[in-house]
Amino acid sequence: MAPASLLSQPLSEIARALAEGKASALELAEAGIERHGRLGSTLHAYKAWDPDQALLQARAADAACAAGTRLGSLQGVPIAIKDLYGISGWPTFAGTPKRLPAKWEQDGPVVASLRRQLATIMGKTHTVELAFGGLGTNPHWGTPRNPWDATAHRVPGGSSSGAGVSLWEGSALLALGTDTAGSVRIPASFTGTVGLKTGSGRWSTAGIVPLCARLDTAGLLARSVADAAYGFAAIDPAWGRWAPLEAAIGARAPADLRIGIASGLVWEDCAPGIAEAAQEALATLAAKGAKLAEVPFPEAEEAIAIFRRGGIQSAECDAFLEAELPEWRTLIAPIVQMRIADGGAISARELLLRHRRMDALAQLAAERCAGWDAIALPTVPISPPKVEEVAEIEDYRRANNQALRNTCVANYLTLTALTLPVGLDALGMPVGLMLLGPPGGEERLLSVGLALERLLGVARERLGAPPLAPAG
């Protein structure tokens, strides 16, 4: 099979072809580089792009395979990594205008897992400055372009702003991101890809520039739930680098599923077409026998209220800058400066009180989720705005807070979360459906997502392809 055609196959099929010698990592890397050459200047997914280094890694993966050595399920697979992760041999900027010290350029456990498997690191994708924003804008390095609008530059979602874009560009088959209040799931929802936020503590955040240690989680974006399940199993320490070549986590039968539909605020003030697309997807699942019921979710509404009061991420980011990057303070863009400044307005007593309340809410939320295979709600209630529509601080603040409204629930309640594309809104932009589960529930959420994906189809089947993406 030609490399360009192979790139459109499920990740499990690509890995099988690599293992059986029917494809080479070098061919995959070259095909990804060719696609970046065609679309890279338009989509602007990457902060750091080094094709020579990617080709060296691909050749190493092929040499190991030729010698009969298989080091993991992602051997030779092209992967993009958010420029918040330290990667030995690559600079880290974390969205700031100045390169960070060498301590932030070392492999952490997640990147080390990819290295051990001889995955091909294609480049480092753009991030919002210090990961502090949900829209994906960056005035220092430019904002990646959402590939679903060929006429206007719409935001891609943040803070993992280049991750979903890199997948549609075709230069990567998986993309690593981070998620503090929605930074994996918002770009996944805005770009029509799949995003998995691991539960608190499931994946180590060592080696990743922090925003808020209490809320930070690592995660990944993928072209499909099946790819996300495969990638998760290959990276997750509990699975040990050896996901089977077929999907590592099987789909549940729809008739066996019990899905709670979160009620209240999370469905309010949605842009036209968003609630409708999410409801239609759930109705399709119900028609196949799944048991759906509305679930009161007061913990979510209180978590949103705490988020809207601000201060938690701001205080931790402010402390991080003071301790680690004091020289960067004067370089930070005004919008991010504004958000960090909130940290000085919260007392230590108030911060501790909020932490105590969040701990109590997290326990209640885990108990509520335990009775369901997943709790469902729209991922993001707004359509991706145009870059110029959020250039002013107040416009940005309003859109950013709305974009983060539903996704912040998972972080503030320490839940696991998965978003998958289920339709297009009234503007023709992707709509995500979010599934929530208790800590440690990644496999269960992925199995629910797989069941839904088998009914609805993957993004290209359900939504079509964005206009700024290669064919196939």
**Are the beta carbons of 417 and 410 closer than 8 angstroms?**
yes
Set 73, 159, 200, 383: catalytic member: 159
CA distances from 153 to 42, 127, 148, 384 (A): 10, 17, 9, 10
Structure-token pair, residue 462 = 């359900």
386 given a catalytic annotation = no
User: Of the listed 47, 82, 124, 197, which one is catalytic?
Assistant: 82
Residue 159 annotated to the active site: yes
204 tagged catalytic: no
Give the CA angle between residues 253, 248, 410 to the nearest 5°: 75
- Is 123 exposed, middle or buried, given 0-12, 13-18 or 19+ CB atoms closer than 10 A? buried
How many residues are listed for the chain in this entry? 472
Active-site option among 183, 189, 383, 447: 183
Two tokens at 94?
């974390």
- Helix crossing, 334-341 with 312-324: angle to 10°? 110
Active site residues: 82, 159, 183
